[in-house]
Amino acid sequence: MAAEDALLDLREVVAGYEEVEVLRGVSLAVRAGEIVSIIGANGAGKSTLLRTVFGMLRPRAGTIRFAAGEIAGLGPTEVLRRGIGYVPQGRCNFPAMSVEENLEMGAYLRRDRRVRADIEALLARFPVLATKRRDPAGTLSGGQQQILEMAISLLLHPRLLMIDEPSLGLDPRMVETVFDTILAINREGTTILMVEQNARKALSVSHRGLVLELGRNRFEGSGEALLHDPEVRQHYLGGR
Amino acid sequence: MALLEVRGLVKHFLGVTAVDRVDLAVEPGELVSLIGPNGSGKTTLFNCVTGYLPADGGRILFRGHDLAHVAPHRVARLGLARTFQQVSVFARLSALENLLVFLQQHQEERLLARLVRTRRLRRLEEEAVERARRLLDLVGLGARADAAAGSLSYGQRKLLAFAGALMSDPELLLLDEPAAAVNPTMIEQMKEHILALHRQGKTVLLVEHNMDVVMDISERVVVLDHGQKIAEGPPEAIRRDPRVVEAYFGR
């Protein structure tokens, strides 16, 4: 696709950890308003791609543009300021702090007076968090913690929200709730880039998908097209 | 006699009854799945069975031995191996070395033999390395055998832990969400391997939210909700059980 209308545009990105090269020239364009899913085998570089965009890893080559500005080489705090949120794999950062305190921590980059109102609005929007606002976050179920993490990242009003395996460890009902939440966030205008092993579920809600293999682009297409592609089904969807 | 028998197991956390008088019997050679919503007590039950948490009530019998107050390393040596949801690896050791460590946790200390380094011990070590390589191939990590485990992705660490649980050739294998964070194609292979172990007569108790896995391979499914057993039966019956649909499957 033409990159001019892309909100996030990666070109030939190479990145890795010490001697291990994980991304070997990945290109990806995400348009404003889209939900894009990255799928692929374990170790293909999916999580590394998100970490690299978020500035946790400095790309060794390639460009990463966000809202038409180069962000490759910026650190996470600056990437956050530019409007990219990130929900990493796993659970909440501050399990001993209450749900409300976790939200306050999430707003640490903000100096304005509307933080309080935004936190209240988020609690109203996610009733499951409101009923537990004074409980330690660590006592929430896995799905509730996932929703808390998404709520925290929304406090900075990101234009792009990156989520690493939103369904990890969740029971079937909670998976539905979390994906419904992602769709709702997207409908309100936040662009979503997610990594997900529940590839069928992810592709079924995505505008587009990218299949990574050994750190390179392998397939790209609409969620629907990838779900029906025989080769993708065979190699990345468990042959079903 | 059941290989594993849990009778009236009770476990409290801070006033919450995480496991509430649960009975569970697993016969030798059975493949049983334990399902239930997040927070229903599945992992707590695993932790009690494997000695990581002391039970507050009830009995746990493995081959008729009471495990209620047996330390985890002793439980492991009785022929019971488990995987964890939250995997931890020795980041600086290679994937292969991590598997050898898993194995060691299941063997009695033979300090003197180690010092003497008998020919027999060397042969055992060679066999262990060969077994570890086979298992790494099995989970698609063959090419990463000598890479530091710290360089593996989260999903790859899960696969490493799955291989680790198989290193000791356990009688009873307890798997806690082995398919979470694993790609669908590898999940199919994992299913095949669990079925192969089952055909060899191994006993498997599986906790898993991936219903393709649970429904395809289990002989029997046990459902927990709020710490209590609410249903038990063959997969087809569980799938249709109104209480399970309500508590777990949802729409």
**pLDDT tens-digit map of B212-226:** 999 999 999 999 999
Q: Is A42 on the interface with B (CB under 8 A)?
A: yes
Interface test with B, best of A37, A38, A42 (most B CBs within 10 A): A42
Nearest to A43 among B153, B188, B248 (CB): B153
Q: Report chain A residues whose CB lies below 8 A from the CB of B149.
A: none
pLDDT at B146 over 80: yes
Give me the pLDDT at residue B72, please. Answer: 85
Residues in A closer than 8 angstroms to B159, CB to CB, are 42
Q: How confident is the model at residue B24 (pLDDT cuts 50, 70, 90)?
A: very high
How close A144 gets to chain B, by Cα (Å)? 10
Shortest Cα distance, chain B CAs vs residue A169, angstroms: 6
Instruction: Indicate if the pLDDT at residue B228 is higher than 60.
Output: yes
Amino acid at A89: Q
**Which residues of B fall below an 8 Å CB-CB distance to A?**
36-39, 85, 140, 144, 147, 151-156, 158-159, 177, 180-188, 209, 211-212, 248-251
pLDDT at A189: 95
**pLDDT tens for chain A, residues 1 to 240:** 445 689 999 999 999 998 889 999 999 999 999 999 999 999 999 999 999 999 999 999 999 999 989 999 999 999 999 999 999 987 777 889 999 999 999 888 888 889 999 999 999 988 889 999 999 998 887 778 888 999 999 999 999 999 999 999 889 988 998 999 999 999 999 999 999 999 999 999 999 999 999 999 999 999 999 999 999 999 899 876
**Residue B28 in tokens:** 């030798």
Q: Is A176 on the interface with B (CB under 8 A)?
A: yes
Between B156, B212, B250, which is nearest A43 by CB?
B156
Contact B37 A47 (CB under 8 A): no
Which uninterrupted H or E stretch holds A124? Answer: helix A115-125
Chain B residue numbers touching A18 (CB-CB < 8 A): 151
- How many angstroms away from the CA of B196 is the closest CA of chain A? 18
Buried b (16+ CB within 10 A) or exposed e, B168-207: bebbbbbbbbbbbbbbbbbbbbbbebbeebbeeebbbbbb
The packing angle between helices A142-154 and A172-187, to 10°, is 10
Closest-CA residue of A relative to B160 is A42
Q: Cβ–Cβ of B249/A200 closer than 8 Å?
A: no
pLDDT band (50, 70, 90) for residue B69:
confident
Q: Is A165 on the interface with B (CB under 8 A)?
A: yes
What pLDDT does A112 receive? Answer: 87
Any idea of the CA torsion for B27, B32, B36, B38, to the nearest 10 degrees? Answer: 100
> What's the CA gap between B103 and B100, in Å, rounded?
5
Q: Which two tokens stand for residue B55?
A: 């039970």
* CA–CA distance, B219 with B18 (Å, rounded to integer): 26
- Model confidence band, residue B251 (pLDDT cutoffs 50, 70, 90): low
| Partner-chain residue, chosen from B36, B181, B251, that has the shortest CB–CB distance to A176 | B251
Q: Which amino acid is at B243?
A: R
Task: Tell me the pTM.
Answer: 0.88
* B16 confidence band (pLDDT: 50, 70, 90): confident
Residue A220 and residue A197: Cα distance in Å, rounded? 16
User: Under an 8 A CB cutoff, do A240 and B38 touch?
Assistant: no
One-letter amino acid at B107 equals Q
Name every chain B residue with its beta carbon within 8 A of the beta carbon of A168.
180-181
- Binary contact (B37, A173; C-beta < 8 A): yes
Compute the nearest-CA separation of A111 from chain B (Å): 35
Rounded Cα–Cα distance for residues A110 and B59 (Å): 54
